[in-house]
Chains A and B, each alone.
Chain A
Amino acid sequence: MRRHTFGRTATAATAAALTALALAACGNGGSGDGDPGGDEAEGQTLDVWIMQGTNPSADAFFEEVATAFTEETGAELNVELVEWADAHDRFVTSIAGGTTPDVAETGTTWTPEFADAGALAPLDEYVASAGLDADLVEGLVEAGTYDGRLYGMPWYAGVRALVYNTEIFEQAGVEPPTTWAELEEAATAIKAELPDKIAIAVPGDAEFTVYPWVWGAGGEVATLEGDTWTSHLDSPESQEGLSFWTGLAEQGLSSAGATTWRETDVLDAFAQGDVGMAVMGSWTPGAIIEANADMEGKFAAVPIPGKDGGIAPSVLGGSHLSMFSTAENKDLAFAFIELMTTGELAERWGEQAGYFPGQTSLLAETLESTDPLVAPFAQQFVEGGGSVPVSPDFGAVQAKKTVGVMMQSILSGSQDVATASTTAAEEMTSLLNGGG
């Protein structure tokens, strides 16, 4: 009997051990990387990771890039498309196993994190010798600079603005708002006229839709002084912005469901024609029409209004192309980066994906567009671009969902703005300064 018991304990122990493995099965990869480096690029292969989903016709695009790249350098191009959702984990495991690609697309908030870990190679000299340093979009350079060196080559970026349903606006007889008071009036009018619609979506789990209201009231997310970060989410200005934004939901102008919405849920509801206004990205118009072809021509955008007029800043979110320190032929890697981020290919990528290019001279052309779904975003991009704190620890703030927690606790009514923002500011300050 005893023997029996032991046997089963051992089985259970194995099963329990498996549990632990499932939780911890991270961080062990293979090892060894390797294209043998030669002096000439011919016969070499450049491994590149690009995020999936940005450009709907990525496959055709990269076939063309590969041809152009081989013509220019003689080397082969090996592009792997990676899902955004898996990408961070894949980067980390590949860094651990030494199997990183030569070049990869890195989200702007990841670049400082990987640079801090020593996984990326600085690009300053290459950029300078290519004569590009004066021609890169400022906000993206700032986001890609860590410890005074550039680790992320600006590739493309998008920005969020206020997207509205023109049909709903017509039925309610309102105009696109230019101040907060107007915005509130418009939302109230929509709710009165169309009680079944969501006048303005105030999502609880979408941090990038929150910052514009903090900045629009004159507040700050966090500032760096010397070596110390301080979050100002609890300043009177920030609290005023948060009170306005969450107050719209409190007045019943949003929906109960929005308390737990992410940006994808906002997009779904907007595409169904259920939403009057929402903060959405410059890349979403294509997705809205793809989800519901009936929406074509029934929505437009304006820059997010500041409290008393003007434009409330919104985060420039985008991607860099980064070179990994494991790249064997760094000149070849930069040749690819330059090919992608400048000139015709960069412009076309932006057009196809609904993003703005990271090269200032290219951006100027985009800004001349009169498309009602491009021009307002372009204005927001140039006149109202903001950046989240450029710190390798901002990833920790995002992972802990500091801002989402604050928003959801206010929207669900479990905490008031003052309490929730004070807690969030304390947590953000601690995380940005490397505290656990």
Chain B
Amino acid sequence: MASTLPAVAPTGTEHRPGPVVRRTVGRSVAARVRPWALLAPALLVLATLLLWPLVRVALLSLQDYGLRQIVTGESSWIGAGNYAEVLTSAQLWQVVLPNTVGFAVAAVSCTVVLGTAVGVLLASLGRLARTIVSSAIMAAWAMPAVTGTYVWVWIFDADRGVVNHVLQTLGFQAQPVNWFTDRWSFYAIVLLNVVHHGFPFVAVTVLAGLLGVPRELLEAAEVDGAGAWRRFFSIIVPQLRQVFAVVIILSTIWDFKVFAQVFLMPGGAGTNREVLNLGVWSYVESFGQNRYGFGSAIAVLLTLLLLAVTVVYVRTIGKEEL
């Protein structure tokens, strides 16, 4: 019976009641297959470029994999040994993780708050002023992380830096201070660097969102007597929820894996173990010592951690919207 029916029904058959059910079955198979067929090339590329390396990393994390294994091609499986070593490391819990998480929280909040403030400022500016301000912040954004880091290092340099110079001239300190040896001042400088480099993205994204907020809503609120703060928190923030979600998730991921901004600072490459973060620590402990299996285990854990943060965040946002 089925074979007598056209497999792919031409449009002319639509008003005949009989074969309708079968036709939808036929169409639904085709409809289900077609998108996948169209997606297949892209998925294949993604699987090769993303999924396979990911699987390799997971497999490597279960091995003792060093230079010798690379040359000989032999593998030495040690099960969860690498994970056990990572998770039982006192340095991870006392220094590395607090530094990484603490810094990420501080950096994400500062970046988002400052970025939003600048975004709001941009939205309220005239055409010319907006062009000038946005070009200025674009310059901060466009600066490569390495260059930016060196500028901050130079500003805080103990012997020739402008900060020490000013503080000594004003009489706040008698001797030059090396700002890079203390955990707190070290990360304060990293924070300045990362926020300075990261807020323009937030500002521009928030600006784009702000321009999409219907003007009538704001005007109506103003007529009803809402002040600037009230309008911001009751109208703009809810309207920009999606924008904030994207901005916060991306900033979290970026700030979690800060590497160059710490590694390039004086003492940041491992001579000051108090300031190690996850990125530098994994580099020093694994790649510097050719322990690729161990490094992979750290990478897998970092991925899981970021996934967990993201899932929790997305869930929270999702619930609020319901």
Contacts and interface: CB of A to CB of B under 8 A. Distances in A.
Does A pair with B? yes
Interface string B290-316: 111011101110110011001100110
B178 A19 contact: no
Given A19-B306, A20-B302, A399-B288, A255 B158 contact: yes
B13 interface: no
A210 B174 CA distance: 29
A399 B66 CA distance: 14
Interface stretch (B49-57, B97-105, B127-135, B225-233): B49-57
B292 A27 contact: yes
A30 interface: no
Nearest to B65: A27
Contacts of A27: 60, 70, 292
B19 interface: no
Interface residues of A, number: 59
Contacts of A92: 67, 70, 290
Nearest to B307: A16
A19 B257 contact: yes
Contacts of A20: 54, 57, 299-300, 302-303
Contact of B267 (A16, A114, A260): A260
A18 B285 CA distance: 21
B181 A259 contact: yes
Interface string A392-411: 00011011110011011000
Nearest to B267: A260
Interface in A1-57: 1-2, 4-5, 8-9, 12-28
B84 to A, nearest CB: 12
B270 A21 contact: no
A24 to B, nearest CB: 4
B310 A9 contact: yes
Q: Which of A96, A260, A261, A408 has the most CB of B within 10 A?
A: A260
Interface string B247-287: 00110010011000000001101111100000100101101
Nearest to B57: A24
Contacts of A15: 249-250, 253, 306, 310
Nearest to A406: B271
Contacts of A18: 50
A246 to B, nearest CB: 14
Contacts of A382: none
A408 B53 contact: no
B67 A8 contact: no
A296 B212 CA distance: 64
B289 A396 contact: yes
B269 A401 contact: yes
A260 B266 contact: yes
B271 A401 contact: yes
Contacts of A274: 159
Contacts of B287: 26, 89
Nearest to A325: B71
Nearest to A114: B67
Nearest to B322: A1
A436 B85 contact: yes
A297 interface: no
Interface stretch (A115-123, A174-182, A234-242, A361-369): A115-123
A25 B283 CA distance: 12
A412 interface: yes
Given A15-B253, A17-B54, A113-B67, A257 B279 contact: no
Contacts of A8: 245, 314
A118 B266 contact: no
A376 interface: no
A130 B275 CA distance: 52
Contact of B271 (A26, A119, A260): A260
B178 A5 contact: no
Nearest to A274: B159
Contacts of B159: 198, 255-257, 269, 274
B282 to A, nearest CB: 6
A48 B132 CA distance: 51
A338 interface: no
A340 to B, nearest CB: 25
Contacts of B117: none
A364 B68 CA distance: 39
B271 A204 contact: yes
B176 A9 contact: no
A407 B273 CA distance: 12
A118 B250 CA distance: 43
A161 to B, nearest CB: 24
A105 interface: no
A315 interface: no
B190 to A, nearest CB: 14
B72 A256 contact: no
Given A21-B53, A23-B299, A256-B175, A118 B181 contact: no
A13 B307 contact: yes
Contacts of B266: 205, 257, 260-261, 265
9 contacts: A9-B314, A15-B306, A16-B306, A16-B307, A116-B67, A257-B160, A257-B178, A401-B270, A414-B181
Given A119-B71, A260-B272, A396-B290, 6 more contacts: A13-B310, A16-B303, A118-B68, A257-B159, A259-B181, A395-B290
